[in-house]
Amino acid sequence: MAELDIYQFPCLSDNFGVLIHDPVNNLTASIDAPETAAVKKALSDKGWQLTHILTTHYHADHTDGNLDLKSEFNCTIVGPNAEGDKVPGIDVRVADGDSYQFGAFEAKVFDTPGHTAGHISYWLPEAEVAFVGDTLFALGCGRLFEGDAQTMWSSLSKLRALPASTQVYCGHEYTLSNAEFALTIEPGNTALQNRVEEIRQLRNADKPTLPTTIGLECETNPFLRPQSPEIQERLGMQGKSDAEIFGEIRQRKDNA
């Protein structure tokens, strides 16, 4: 099986940049482009030439580098069809069910609206990796700027259905504050307790807590766990729908 090289680096105040590199075809994509200088430094650190940008959503902290990088590298910008007009320099518009061939790797596209109305995620099954932008975070999920709880729950359900071993790269390092909140929602979850301990150690050592995996999120992320009896009982929401319970958790986090 072909191998995909992945390089994650922090940028802006709490964003992650990610480069993916297909060594056989000598292609390199930036997952979003939060900041031109940081992406260029990462490229030169790795000795890679930028050929693609894979955009998850139009927000400035994910697209600010698009035009500068495109003029310097003449890279192809792939992005969400539903908000393509807001993605600077977009060349290829993709939507749910589409595949984009990145060298040896097929990137399957999911519409994952909620944070923005046109947000998409990319899943590369051969590499067992997903790039989810600001839809899913480690122990959290994106804010609902352009969608309701039902919309976001449907998006998260698509990601939750990916293989448990899937490595998940997210747009931000929000994990520590997410962890503190998660403990208020499901304090009796021992997998969560253990994970929070690891997260505190990583952050104390100034290390990233990403990537995560679908399996770990399913076990510990309260936003993916409306079926947990402990959560339902704490919220007093036994018998409510998954989307309703998810919505309540999202609202509590917004007010936390």
> Helices 175-185 and 190-204 meet at what angle, rounded to 10?
160
| 13 or 74: CB nearest Fe ion | 13
Choose the binding region for Zn ion from 12-20, 128-136, 147-155, 234-242 (rule: CB under 5 A).
128-136
Backbone angles phi, psi at 116, to 5 degrees: -125, 160
Give the span between the Cα atoms of 185 and 36, in whole angstroms. Answer: 38
* Strand locations in 96-166 (E): 99-102, 105-111, 120-124, 129-131, 136-137, 140-141
| 134 or 248: CB nearest Zn ion | 134
| 51 or 178: CB nearest Fe ion | 178
Give the span between the Cα atoms of 155 and 135, in whole angstroms. Answer: 8
> Dihedral of CA 33/37/38/40: which sign?
positive
| 118 or 171: CB nearest Fe ion | 171
Residue type at position 64? D
CB 35, CB 26: distance < 8 Å: no
Q: For the CB of residue 115, give the shortest distance to Zn ion in the complex, in Å.
A: 6
Choose the binding region for Fe ion from 56-64, 96-104, 195-203, 212-220 (rule: CB under 5 A).
56-64
Tell the residue number behind the tokens 């929070």, with chain if given: 196
Binding mask 130-149 for Zn ion (x = CB under 5 A): ----x---------------
3-class secondary-structure state, position 180: helix
Q: Which of 21, 52, 59, 253 binds Zn ion (CB under 5 A)?
A: 59
Residue 32 near which of Zn ion, Fe ion, none (CB within 5-8 Å, type-dependent) = none
Judged by CB under 5 A, how many residues of this single chain contact Zn ion? 2
| 27 or 39: CB nearest Fe ion | 39
Q: Note if the bond before 88 is cis, omega within 30 degrees.
A: no
Q: For the CB of residue 142, give the shortest distance to Fe ion in the complex, in Å.
A: 8
Q: Per CB under 5 A, does 64 bind Zn ion? A: no
Q: For the CB of residue 164, give the shortest distance to Fe ion in the complex, in Å.
A: 26
Which among 36, 40, 29 has a CA at the least distance from the CA of 62? 36
Q: Which of 22, 134, 217, 248 binds Fe ion (CB under 5 A)?
A: 134
**Catalytic site positions:** 57, 59, 61-62, 115, 134, 172
The site for Fe ion (CB under 5 A) is made up of 61, 134, 171
The site for Zn ion (CB under 5 A) is made up of 59, 134
